[in-house]
């Protein structure tokens, strides 16, 4: 979280389980940012339950491990587009 506080990011990838917490802890930390990055969760046990939980709690998507490079590129691209759209909505309108 310290790294994310010191460096701007549009998309964050987090494993489902971390040495000191879970992806939910990352999501909670991200929500404090002015223009929070979107979160993509990675997991060896990616299933419909995890995917629904991630989306319902405000995450962006789930990637199954082992990671497939084409799927990663597509998912991160879509996540960046989502973040960019949200960022544009936050911008004040030009007069």
- As a whole number, the mean pLDDT across the chain is 92
Q: Which domain holds residue 33?
A: 2-79
Q: How far is CA 20 from the centre of its chain?
A: 18
CB-CB contact of 43 with 61 (8 Å): no
Residue 47 pLDDT: 95
Measured between alpha carbons, how far is 45 from 1 in angstroms, rounded to an integer?
24
CA nearest to 33, candidates 95, 94, 83: 83
| CATH number of the domain enclosing 56 | 3.40.50.2300
Residue 34 pLDDT: 83
Name 86's Cβ contacts closer than 8 Å, sequence gap at least 6.
35, 38
Is 85 inside any structural domain?
Answer: no
Give 6-45 pLDDT, tens digit per residue.
888 999 999 999 999 999 999 999 988 888 999 999 999 9
Is 19 inside any structural domain?
Answer: yes
Is 28 inside any structural domain?
Answer: yes
Predicted model pTM:
0.89
Domain count, the chain: 1
Is 14 inside any structural domain?
Answer: yes
Give the pLDDT mean for 63-72: 97
Is 20 inside any structural domain?
Answer: yes
User: How is residue 34 annotated by DSSP?
Assistant: S
């Amino acid at each position: 979280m310290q790294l994310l506080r010191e460096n701007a990011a549009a998309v964050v990838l987090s494993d489902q389980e971390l040495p000191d917490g879970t992806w939910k802890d990352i999501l909670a930390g991200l929500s404090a940012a002015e223009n929070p990055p979107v979160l993509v969760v990675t997991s060896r046990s990616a299933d419909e339950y995890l995917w629904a939980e991630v989306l319902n709690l405000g995450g962006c998507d789930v990637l199954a491990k082992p990671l497939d490079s084409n799927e990663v590129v597509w998912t991160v691209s879509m996540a960046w587009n989502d973040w960019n759209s949200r960022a544009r909505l936050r911008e004040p309108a030009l007069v």
